[in-house]
Amino acid sequence: MEEKCSYCKGNLYGKKEGKSYGLYCKTCGKWIYKSKELLKEEEMEVDKEEYEIILIGEGNEKQMEHIAQMAGINIYMAGEYLRTQKEVVLYKGNAKETYKNARNITEKGLLYKIEPEYPYEILRKMTEEEKEKITKKILEKIKIFS
């Protein structure tokens, strides 16, 4: 795998554009690696992009509930907070750290988006795990109440 741009030796950045994922050189504007598949964990090593994890879900009751719980405020304050703070950046950092943090935030049940778009496969895997977890929880609840 290339560590630097093979044209200008510039740094490489993870990128998603349409249905393409890859590593991109911002200096000369060339894709060094481009694929229809999400990127693998190895690509994180050379990715110099800084990703932001941003809180979303204004108007989503579950989201407000979670924020209220975490912050120790009531649900109305949480709703107000999401309305007034359009962009709450929870975390900013490289691809690897972003993955770890996104995972933690998902486990807490918070809704978020990553900017620029996160081109890694690992998040799709995590979503599957999450689905499994939720399914288990639902099944447990059904057992209790049936």
CA angle 94, 90, 124 (to 5 degrees): 60
Q: Please identify, among the stretches 8-16, 36-44, 83-91, 94-102, the one whose residues bind Zn ion according to the rule CB under 5 A.
A: 8-16
- Applying CB under 5 A, does 82 fall inside the site for Zn ion? no
Is 136 in a helix, a strand, or coil? helix
Nearer to Zn ion, 26 or 92 (CB): 26
- Applying CB under 5 A, does 6 fall inside the site for Zn ion? no
- Applying CB under 5 A, does 10 fall inside the site for Zn ion? yes
Q: Please identify, among the stretches 3-11, 49-57, 62-70, 128-136, the one whose residues bind Zn ion according to the rule CB under 5 A.
A: 3-11
Nearer to Zn ion, 6 or 69 (CB): 6
Nearer to Zn ion, 28 or 70 (CB): 28
Nearer to Zn ion, 5 or 46 (CB): 5
Residues 11-50 that bind Zn ion (CB under 5 A): 25, 27-28
- Other CB atoms within 10 A of residue 2 CB: 11
